[in-house]
Amino acid sequence: MPSGLEGRHIAVLMGGLSAEREVSLTSGAACVGALERLGARVTPVDAGRDLAQVLDRLRPDLCFNVLHGRWGEDGCVQGLLETLGLAYTHSGVLASALAMDKTRAKAVMAAAGVRVPGGGLFDRREAGRAHVMAPPYVVKPNSEGSSVGVFRVFEGANAPPAELLSDAWAYGEEVLVEPYVAGLELSVAVLGDRALAVTEIEARTGFYDYDAKYSDGGSSHILPARISEPAAARAKAQALRAHQALGCRGLTRSDFRYDPVNDLLVLLEVNTQPGMTPTSLAPEQAAYLGMDFDRLVLWIAEAANVHGDA
């Protein structure tokens, strides 16, 4: 289909240095294929520490950023691209950094009227030696995505996760500890100024951790979610409000917990660069509303910033 991308040189930034490298490579490969079908001249770039030199040599018309996690999604690469004067997709420097810092993002979203979990930030060794709140609760790194390093501590547990005391812990010295909200896992993608749909996620293990997200058969997506229309409307409104409060642009995905018994909806986090395969949550929602994967990739490319729009 005619796309407006014909002949444009697009560098797809993928891989990277974070714990979500493999997920990013999968997303990147899917986006490379879509951009090629749209007529662009595509250069896949496995983003390493020489990224500035690589991009300065390539001088692409656009960087399609499919990096996930620290360095690629937290404002660092965005700042590099601003310095190089290159257009890029998804959120800018400030929104990317803010959304990746879960504690600060929660404060901004709460001030905007979005309901977020309680809890707080703790030294990971303090949280590993004794319960810092009564179980059940969830421990997660403050600046990671894809549920990397996330643990649920069950009611009656004698001790916190031993991994928090390990010298092999690689997710920062501070962890976020939040009360566990029983109920359903929901997700809402936002595309520009529109919340798309509500997906219910059913994890095989009952907890939507990294393995449930990315292992074959680890989870199933139910679209639309099996919740009431008012609850779905509230989830979409809250996702859009969070997207706007954080200053995001392009595509984001907000993850929720919803307790239907008490009608309690809590927004856990906003992902500024969601997974981008045809079966990822955000592309699934776009397809549900009639926008196939290639058209979604085209929309993201066309919505990319100009230099200086941080």
Instruction: Give catalytic residue positions.
Output: 20, 146, 214, 253, 255, 269, 271, 275
Cross-strand bridge partners of residue 252: 190
Rounded Cα distance between 61 and 292, Å, is 24
Question: Residues with Cβ < 8 Å from 290, sequence gap 6 or more?
Answer: none
The string of DSSP codes covering 212-263 is HHHSTTSEEEESS-SS-HHHHHHHHHHHHHHHHHTT--SEEEEEEEEETTTT
Comparing CA positions, the residue from 292, 62, 27 lying closest to residue 145 is 27
What is the C-alpha separation between 125 and 93, in angstroms, rounded? 31
Whether the CB-CB separation of 12 and 86 falls below 8 Å is answered with: no
Alpha carbon distance 98, 247 (integer Å): 9
Tokens of 305: 């910033």
Find, among 279, 273, 303, the residue nearest to 199 by Cα: 279
Separation CA 35–CA 50 (nearest Å): 24
Backbone angles phi, psi at 131, to 5 degrees: -60, 130
Q: What is the DSSP string of 72-127?
A: TSSSHHHHHHHHHT--BSS--HHHHHHHHSHHHHHHHHHHTT------EEEEHHHH
